[in-house]
Structure 1
Amino acid sequence: MADSVPNDDPATDGYPRCVTSRWLTALPVFNEVNYVDDVLDQVLRYSDRILVVDDGSTDGTSEKLDARRAAQPEQIEVIHHPKNRGYGAGLQSAFQYTLENDYEGVVTLDCDGQHQPHRIPRFIEAARSADIVSGSRYLKKYKGDDEPPAERMFINRRITADLNERLGFALTDAFCGFKAYRADALRVMRITNDGYAMPLQLWVEAAAAGLSVVEIPVPLIYLDLDRSFGGSLDHSETRLNYYNEVIDDAIAKVRGEGRLPDTPYFRAQSCG
């Protein structure tokens, strides 16, 4: 079951400015040459160890990342995918790196300016009592919140409601990329989806493993209203149908592997 926690702003609530723990901050990146330096500068104020997963960038992002790593090798690590593999693939590389290097956990955030790094300590604090901490853009209204594109809001609400109905969660935002994962949670989830639908498989895996989830509010910021989801997925109805198929397949997978928990949830078909 997903719960919420009080909206304490880490910039003012006494949390350390820089987290010097065995927690990693990971940023999946693809063609973010205009944002990457500024985002790294901000993240370094709140995290002393950063992993950037460059998913085959072609706009100069890769060169910028290599220069930053050369200048700050104790703080910044970079993994380069030879070609673009997808958002989910970037996160899978980050999860693997977290486990291979014995971190306690990892905070993930996007590198396009939509997530505020000063909230990183709050995510880590919340992870002391939860396996997964997920940001939600819909738990609280912030002054200056952006208005999301109508079709993205519709799909988010529909898919979030579907996941709650089928998995027994109480999520308010199924797609926010600002999250914290304890390493123990990463070890028991079997994530294979390489694309934007990876969070949907993640929720099924979390439910199958009986992981505890907490949501904390984050501002609603949209800077790239023209983002492409790739080919036919730019069509909202096609994307919604695809997301439902991902959920169906993920549930079928855990059922076939005998990993269903003792729960009345995990219904076989989506709400459509």
Structure 2
Amino acid sequence: MRILTAIPVHNEEAHLESVLTEVLRFSEDVLVVDDGSTDRTPDLLRNFSSVQVIRHPKNLGYGAGLRSAFERTLEGKYDGLVTLDCDGQHEPCRIPEIASHLDQADIVSGSRYLQIFDPSQIPPEERRRINVEVTRWLNECLGLNVTDAFCGFKAYRASALPAFEITDLGYAMPLQVWVQAVAHQLSILEVPVPLIYLDESRAFGGALDQADYRLNHYRSVFHEAMRRAGLEVSGGCR
């Protein structure tokens, strides 16, 4: 199975070299989607000649980075795609393991809450609160049984990618993925990955840094995705 490993980045000069060096130990085909970085990220990427690079001329958002990764996976006729972040919160050594489960499901989603690897690692309170609430929507409104709505460490069968129409270019993009996966009856498997928080100061940007605003934004995107998919928004889904 030919697997593409994709990393969306924006201004990741502090982490890029160490993360990319480690990713290359575990993946033969690697793509970095540089989402309009204005720091040294583009210069550092030139040191990795074997890595594919897509550069967005300006910062479009996390969802835009993953949408470009979906497109490259299909264009390159890969069998599957693994996605992970570049902030040190995902362990590249787990790439083969995540990809190996693609023989069981269309989407393999990492969960930081299925298993406790390090009891000293505790997520920021507001992020955990929002994750719990959004995960509840997924389970109550979509009939899923997942534990982590927002883990970016995932694997996708290439054959599943045409099901996704990604219009939210920001951090709410995973909600569209979950809704469209259910609408297209894709199979989903969660696997445990370590919870690692190295930098709690990272920002979402603008008003999204306010927890209540961010949650309301996620709710709006989720409801719109449900409506577009022809799924009923009622009861605990509101």
Q: Does 1:162 align with 2:137?
A: yes
**What's the CA shift string for 1:43-83, capped at 9, x where partnerless?**
111110100000001110011112312xx3xxx10010000
Q: Does 1:61 align with 2:41?
A: yes
Partner of 2:111: 136
Query: Share of identical aligned residues, percent?
Result: 55
Partner of 1:254: 229
Q: Does 1:94 align with 2:69?
A: yes
Local SS of the residue matching 2:214: helix
Provide structure 2 residue ranges, at least 5 long, that are not aligned to the other structure.
none
**What's the CA shift string for 1:3-42, capped at 9, x where partnerless?**
xxxxxxxxxxxxxxxxxx4110000001110111111111
The 8 Å contact of residues 24 and 105 in structure 1, kept in 2 or not, is answered as yes
Separation (CA, whole Å) in 2 of partners of 1:270 and 1:230: 29
Normalised by the length of structure 1, the TM-score is: 0.85
Partner of 1:210: 185
| Deviation, structure 1 residue 211 | 0.3
Separation (CA, whole Å) in 2 of partners of 1:268 and 1:203: 17
- What amino acid is aligned across from residue 93 of structure 1 in structure 2? S
Separation (CA, whole Å) in 1 of partners of 2:119 and 2:77: 39
The 8 Å contact of residues 36 and 59 in structure 2, kept in 1 or not, is answered as yes
Normalised by the length of structure 2, the TM-score is: 0.97
Hey, which of these two has a bigger chunk of helix by percent? 2
- What amino acid is aligned across from residue 208 of structure 2 in structure 1? L
The 8 Å contact of residues 118 and 195 in structure 2, kept in 1 or not, is answered as no
Largest Rg, 1 or 2: 1
- CA-atom RMSD in angstroms: 1.3
Separation (CA, whole Å) in 2 of partners of 1:145 and 1:177: 21
- What amino acid is aligned across from residue 10 of structure 2 in structure 1? F
Q: 1:267 aligns with which of 220, 233, 237?
A: 233
The 8 Å contact of residues 191 and 205 in structure 1, kept in 2 or not, is answered as no
Distance 1:144 1:59, change over 3 A: farther
Alignment of 1:236-255 (within 5 A): 236-255=211-230
Distance 1:269 1:186, change over 3 A: farther
Instruction: Give the length in aligned residue pairs.
Output: 238
**What's the CA shift string for 1:111-163, capped at 9, x where partnerless?**
11100011011111111110000000000011255111111000000010111
Partner of 2:29: 49
Partner of 1:124: 99
The 8 Å contact of residues 31 and 52 in structure 2, kept in 1 or not, is answered as yes
